[in-house]
Amino acid sequence: MPTTQALLVIDYTNDFVADQGALTCGQPGQQLAPAIVSLAEQMRSNGDWVLLPTDVHTPNDPYHPESQLFPPHNVRDSWGRELYGPLKDWYNDHQTETTVWQFDKTRYSSFAGTDLDLRLRERHVDSLHLVGVCTDICVLHTAVDAYNLGYQLVIHENAVASFDPVGHAWALRHFKNTLGATIV
């Protein structure tokens, strides 16, 4: 039987998490590392898909809307775009496995302009577990698209974070009350 679950580890990179990151969530983001790595390992060893949608940008791209909103971040081949801390080690150990893959995204949603939906449908995945950052930006936009495409959602409260505690709390309510997500 093919697996029907996938874990999406969203934007858990130095720029979004580390102290020196360009758009860091800081301590709330850093403290997620053990829970994220533990869940990735649990799902990998269970035969589930572990996907790592990762923002990628060209600095000061005049056509990209985020150039007006945020400083340069997650620039291709930069330190800022590397996975943070122990997740980097975990990914290095497992990146050649069929069920583990990292892919580029250029917008908040992991579905925008990517082949994620096609890949999930090919694999008969109907349930998505979301972790990473930021709860109220890239996790939120990914969850909204997933909801509209008909996926069941599980949000791991101890494995999502934001630089904005009000936005974080609002997004958790929105996942549950508006997107029908299970919060665990």
Q: Is 48 a binder of Zn ion (CB under 5 A)?
A: no
Window contacting Zn ion (CB under 5 A); options: 50-58, 84-92, 139-147, 171-179: 50-58
* Residue 81 near residue 14, CB atoms below 8 Å: yes
Q: In the complex, what is the shortest distance from the CB of residue 96 to Zn ion, in angstroms, rounded to a whole number?
A: 27
Strand order in the sheet with 100-105: 100-105, 49-55, 5-10, 127-133, 152-161, 182-183
**Applying CB under 5 A, does 55 fall inside the site for Zn ion?**
yes
- What are the b/e assignments for 33-60, b being 16+ CB within 10 Å? beebbebbeebbeeebbbbbbbbbbeee
Give 10 or 125: the residue with its C-beta nearer to Zn ion: 10
Residue 117 Cβ vs Zn ion, minimum distance, rounded to whole Å? 20
Smaller CB separation from Zn ion, 66 or 157 = 66
User: Would you say 66 or 82 has its CB closer to Zn ion?
Assistant: 66
Considering only residues 56 to 75 of the shown chain, the ones binding Zn ion according to CB under 5 A are: 66
Question: Tokens standing for 160?
Answer: 């999502």
Q: Is 11 in the site for Zn ion (CB under 5 A)?
A: no
Q: Which helix (H) or strand (E) holds 161?
A: strand 152-161
User: Which pair of tokens denotes residue 4?
Assistant: 């029907």
In the complex, minimum distance from the CB of residue 80 to Zn ion, in angstroms, rounded to a whole number: 11
Question: Residue with CB nearest Zn ion?
Answer: 55
In angstroms, the CA 101 to CA 110 distance is 13
Residue numbers at the binding site for Zn ion (CB under 5 A)? 55, 66
